[in-house]
Structure formats: structure tokens, C-alpha cells
Amino acid sequence: METTNGTLDHGETEPSATQPAFDNVDITSPDEENENDIFESAIQEPLSPVLEDVPTDEAGDAFIEISVSDPQKVGDGMGSYLAYKVSTKTNILKFKKRQFYTMRRFSDFLGLHDLLVSKYLRLGRIIPPAPEKNIIGATKVKMGSGQAAQTDAGAGAGVNPEWIENRRASLERFLNRVAQHPILCQDTDFVNFLESDQELPRAVNTAALSGAGVMRLFNKVGETVNKITYKMDENDPWFNDKINEVETIDGHMQKLHSAIKALVAHRKELATLTGGVAKSAALLSTCEEHTGLSQALSQLADVEEKVELLRSEQANSDLYILSETIKDYIGLFGAIKDVFHERVKVFQNWQHAQLQLTKKRENKAKLELQERRDKLEFAQKEVEEWEAKVQRCQKEFDNISTEIKKEMERFELARARDFKSTIIKYLEDQMAHQQQQMKYWEAIVPVARDIA
């Protein structure tokens, strides 16, 4: 039974909306295709977190599964927005319920990301990046009419359903990547985001055109300049090697992502051209007097129409399974660069503290030579304060260095599992489409041979 605050009693099943799964291609199924599955068919299943040392309410491994579904337009005009149903199943003790859901808007996701960054980046944690804002797509939703955004026309005229699905899927992946982290998944703000049935405080700082947004832009420019101009004297070869490795992989991933985007565009164009062939063959069959030839042309038109759908789905396989995974990891490597740079900032603070300590000691020495006993006590306190600061800064630097190494080890293991799953899924899908296409062509061969 569903309770009034959007939770479900333990052991009951939520009447969830059917999520598009990439299984519509079946080489043993009838040759009936649903054109509504063109882009929905390639959606990946939610990531399966592997959590260790997380308290649970039962024996066995901890688990948390999060899905984002049912985008709904709330309000009208420029004040409107899309709200998403965030459903969670878990056995982690930090949560009050085992199964529940809530409604969240896009800015809530960005606000959650900002909170996690503010609390954990300084500690050396890799924070999964939040989905990027898209002002054009969001404006189309705001200016469109209708309440149900999940249908082709529901978000309003001019709104691309692929854009809505892209955003939904990216929000889901973001939450599941956070949930995979044994520390972040138990964070109070993350738990509240998933569990609370109340609206969250408006994350106004996430608005792209706000004053805070402009300040963030200036801060990013300053950070970029600092990264370029400041070179840290690295005494740990592990970090030098890892930074070079990250830069190399990130560069190749960006090239791969560009190549896949080009492939998606090519497949979509090929699908459109295939549809044109189908229509032309169908028209030709209607005016062909030769019965056998007319029948063969008609069958060819049918096959070309089915192949058009398959090629569209292959384009979505490239996009949703492969391209979006690569895009996510480009963002993750950006998050890794951020945490490496945070370590540099901690090192800068340590060096600054050491410099100030040296100045305070020199000042104290001068006062001793001048026998300024009236100021010596204050100078001694300053030296002691900066000695304590140097120790704190050094400890913070040692801690963030150790934590980054642990985070990178966890990240590499998760990346290997993630890419293995993605590649297998992609290969199986491509093989299924190719086999289905072979069946279509094989079925028309006897018709062509029967032409008298």
C-alpha cells in the first residue's frame, strides 16, 4: 500500500511506469515493430552499486537502486519546470524506509551536487558531475503547452522527446553514481534528497543567468588561470604518473565521443535515406503492371521500412549505450582533475603557512635582538599559532593525498566493471539488430526468385 508521503510499505511493489529497456529487438519474435521505441529502446539499466562496509538491515551486501521516471511539467510559462519521480529501493540503515519515492526538479539535482562538492571535494572525494544545463531545451519546455512531458507532444510544441529522455537518463545515472560511493550514499543531504517528501530549498545559485552564476563563471576563470600559472613541485611520482594518465585517457575519450556523435548522425541520416527508398519502392510497385515484379517491389518497400527502424535504433544504441557512457566519463575525469587541483590548493595553503611562519620567526628574532620584551610575548604567540597552522595544513595535505589514492583505486575498479557491462550490452544489441536485418532480407529472397 502506498502511503501519503510517497513511500511504500516494506515488501510491497511500486506501480512503476514501464521504463524503456533495450530489448525490443528479438530475432525470434514476429516482425512487428513499434515506432515509438525508436529512441527509448537503447536505455541502459540502472547501475548496480557494489557497496562495502555500509550498514544494512539484513544479512548480505548493501544495495541501493534509484530510478528517475515520469517527467511532468509543472506550471506554465517561464515559471514552469519539469519534475521527475525519483524512486529508491535499498536496505541501507541510513534510510527510514526500504522502498519510497519523491518528486524532484532539475535544480534540486544541481543543488545536491553543489552540497556534495562543498563537503567532500576538500577531503579528496571524487564527486560525480551533475548533468549539464541546457538553456535552449529548458526554454522550449517552459514555452510549450501541456502537462505530461513524457509523451511526444506533452512537453509542448517544438520540444524534442529525445532531449527529455536524455536529461532523465543522465539524472538517473548521476544519482546512481553517487549511490555507488560508500561515503556519499550515506550523506545526510543525499538521504534527504531521496527520502524527504518535502520540497527542497530552492537552489537559486544553480541558475545559469543569476548573479551567483556569473560569479561562478568568474571563479572558474580564476581557477583555470591558477591551474595554468601555478606549478606544484611534486615529490610523489604516483601523482605525476596518474595526472598524465588521466589527461591522456580524457583526451582520447573526447575524440571517441566526437567520433560516436558523428556515427550517430550518419546512422540517422542513413535511416532517413532508407525510409526514402521504402517510399519510392512502394510508389513504384503501385504502378508496375507486372504482377510478380510489383509484389517484389512491395515486399522490398516493407523490408526497407523495417530496416529504417532498425537503423534508427542502432543510432540510439550508439547514443544511449555508448556515447552517453563516454560523455559521463569525460565528466568524471573532469571531477578527478578537480580533486587533483584541490590537492594543489591545499599544498598552496601549506606553503603559505610555512612562509608566514618563517616571517613570524624572523620578526621574533629581530625583537629579541632589539630586546623588545614588551612585544616578544605577542610575537611568540604568533609563532606558535602559525606552527599549529603549518601542522594542520601538512596533515590536511597528507590526508587528501592518501584519500585521492584510495578514491582512484575505487574509481578504476568501478570504471572497469562499468565499461565491461557497457561494451557487452552494446555488442549484444548490435548483433541482435544485424541478425534481425538478415531475417528481413532472407524473407524477401524467395519473392524475388519467383518473379516470372
DSSP conformation letters of 362-403: HHHHHHHHTT-HHHHHHHHHHHHHHHHHHHHHHHHHHHHHHH
Q: For residues 191 and 282, state if they share a domain.
A: no
| Amino acid letter, residue 179 | A
Q: For residues 198 and 294, state if they share a domain.
A: no
Q: For residues 128 and 274, state if they share a domain.
A: no
In degrees to the nearest 10, what's the CA dihedral of 188, 189, 191, 192? 110
Q: For residues 259 and 168, state if they share a domain.
A: no
Helices (H), 317-370: 324-369
Is 221 within the bounds of a domain? no
What integer pLDDT is reported at residue 21 of this predicted model?
A: 41
Q: For residues 180 and 261, state if they share a domain.
A: no
Digits of tens for pLDDT over the chain (452 positions)? 444 445 554 444 444 444 444 444 443 444 444 444 433 444 444 444 456 567 665 556 788 999 999 998 887 767 778 899 999 999 998 999 899 999 999 999 999 999 999 999 999 999 999 988 766 555 555 555 544 444 443 444 446 777 888 899 999 999 999 999 999 999 999 999 999 988 887 665 555 445 555 555 555 555 555 555 567 788 899 999 999 999 999 999 999 999 999 999 999 999 999 999 999 999 999 998 898 999 999 999 999 999 999 999 999 999 889 999 999 999 999 999 999 999 999 999 999 999 999 999 999 999 988 888 888 889 999 999 999 999 999 999 999 999 999 999 999 999 999 999 999 999 999 999 999 999 999 999 999 998 87
Q: For residues 320 and 188, state if they share a domain.
A: no
Q: For residues 78 and 187, state if they share a domain.
A: yes
**Contact at 8 Å (CB) between 254 and 313?**
no
| Amino acid letter, residue 124 | G
CA angle (111, 188, 120) in 5-degree steps: 65
CATH code of 106's domain? 3.30.1520.10
Is 30 within the bounds of a domain? no
Is 148 within the bounds of a domain? no
Q: For residues 238 and 200, state if they share a domain.
A: no
**Gyration radius of the chain's alpha carbons:** 29
Is 237 within the bounds of a domain? yes
Q: For residues 411 and 289, state if they share a domain.
A: yes
Q: For residues 182 and 240, state if they share a domain.
A: no
Helix (H, G, I), strand (E, B) or coil at 122: helix
Is 175 within the bounds of a domain? yes
Is 13 within the bounds of a domain? no
CATH code of 376's domain? 1.20.1270.60
Is 15 within the bounds of a domain? no
Number of residues in the chain: 452
Q: Report CA 67 to chain centroid distance, whole Å.
A: 13
Please state the domain count of the chain: 2
User: How much is the pTM?
Assistant: 0.78
Q: What is the domain extent for residue 188?
A: 61-142+160-204
DSSP conformation letters of 221-232: HHHHHHHHH---
Non-local CB neighbours of 424 within 8 Å, separated by 6+ positions:
none
Is 227 within the bounds of a domain? no
Q: For residues 200 and 237, state if they share a domain.
A: no
Q: For residues 181 and 288, state if they share a domain.
A: no
